[in-house]
Amino acid sequence: MSFAKLDALMARGAEFLGSRYAIMAGAMTWVSERNLVSAISNAGGFGVIACGAMEPERLSAEIAATKALTDRPFGVNLITMHPKLAELIAVCAEHRVGHVVLAGGLPPGGAIDAIKAAGAKLMCFAPALALAKKLVRSGADALVIEGSEAGGHIGPVSTSVLAQEILPEMAAQLPIFVAGGIGRGSAVAAYLEMGAAGVQLGTRFVCATESVAHPNFKRAFIRASARDAVASVQVDARLPVIPVRALRNAGTDAFTAKQREMVGHLDAGSVELAEAQRQIEHYWAGALRRAVVDGDVEHGSLMAGQSVGMVTREEPAAAIIEGLVGEAAAALAERRE
């Protein structure tokens, strides 16, 4: 197998991350915490803490706990719309976090400067070429281009199209990591050959042995097929919501009902648009916790990418990474013959 070729293709991304392999873990709220993050980093990948709606004190404790479990690099994912973003950035600086990943659109003024002033490398999500260029001009050190096959909040364009559109234009400028729907090493190899510095996977790590996700949550992933991971539907154009991909269940229908409820309040003038959008986002946060932590897989949110069909068992994070690397090397060897 062509491990030398794989190492060469991953060299730029691995150097940027400080990891053995240029394989990032997607930040999944309630799942990507100290145990899974440290296990992925210890196995040669790059774990990322999902801050989500954490308060600064809790994020500080999570970073410290992760450092106690690994001496390898890991990152922290922050949501740009978090009301205490500046404080969370300060927490990352205090702990000397080497990589900060910003998700959720263009960062507010001062956030990028604060991150870079602390010496951290800044990674941003770019679901479109125009935004990718703007983020680079703003100071991003690396980009993650994530297609609509991914789990959780998604953009409208598929991973393969984003890769074809953005990599030829920008891969020479900075490291770009491809995400969304990646489940096997052959796909990893393909994106690396297209110019990606590395890849990001989330769904494949949900059923890692070290993942604290509830057993019911893991069983739902193992039983699911790709077609079970569906994107949410927007009910009213006045209330734009970012689509969320999750396994279909009663919670999916409840989200549609929640949107209708908010539209009714908008029609009655009893709620402002910003508040209606906030309540919808709050729904997802609560529903996700019910599924991941409490195990309510019927009414909670089972956020999952379409690669869920390739999740067939529970296994250690190290085995998942070893499998991806072996498959990628084998794919590269076959193409050379």
- pLDDT for 2 equals 65
Specify the amino acid at residue 71.
Answer: D
Q: Is residue 140 part of a domain?
A: yes
| Residue closest to 15 by CA, chosen among 174, 156, 149, 239 | 174
Residues 72-96 have a mean pLDDT of 96
The predicted-structure confidence for 106-152, as pLDDT tens digits, reads as follows 888 799 999 999 999 999 999 999 999 999 999 999 999 999 999 99
Please write down the HEC assignment for all residues of 262-314: HHHHHHHCCCCHHHHHHHHHHHHHHHHHHHHCCCCCCCCCCECCHHHHHCCCC
**How far is 301 from 282, CA to CA, in rounded Å?**
12
Domain that holds residue 124: 3-213+310-336
Do 195 and 118 share a structural domain? yes
Q: Is residue 282 part of a domain?
A: yes
Do 258 and 161 share a structural domain? no
Do 130 and 87 share a structural domain? yes
- Alpha-carbon separation of residue 30 from 22, 84, 131, 185, 258 (angstroms): 24, 19, 28, 26, 22
Do 161 and 192 share a structural domain? yes
Do 126 and 72 share a structural domain? yes
Do 271 and 183 share a structural domain? no
Q: Is residue 235 part of a domain?
A: yes
Do 115 and 58 share a structural domain? yes
Q: Is residue 320 part of a domain?
A: yes
What CATH number does the domain containing 127 carry?
Answer: 3.20.20.70
- pLDDT for 337 equals 55
Q: pTM (2 decimals)?
A: 0.95
Q: Which pLDDT band holds residue 1 (cuts at 50, 70, 90)? A: low
Q: Is residue 300 part of a domain?
A: no
Q: Is residue 218 part of a domain?
A: no
Q: Is residue 243 part of a domain?
A: yes
Do 172 and 245 share a structural domain? no
Average pLDDT for the chain: 95
DSSP 43-73: TTSB-EEE-TT--HHHHHHHHHHHHHH-SS-
- pLDDT for 199 equals 98
The predicted-structure confidence for 197-221, as pLDDT tens digits, reads as follows 999 999 999 999 999 999 999 999 9
More confident: 32 or 254: 32
What's the number of domains the chain is made of? 2
- pLDDT for 39 equals 98
Q: Is residue 314 part of a domain?
A: yes
The predicted-structure confidence for 36-73, as pLDDT tens digits, reads as follows 999 999 999 999 999 999 999 999 999 999 999 999 99
Contact 51, 90 (CB under 8 A): no
- pLDDT for 277 equals 83
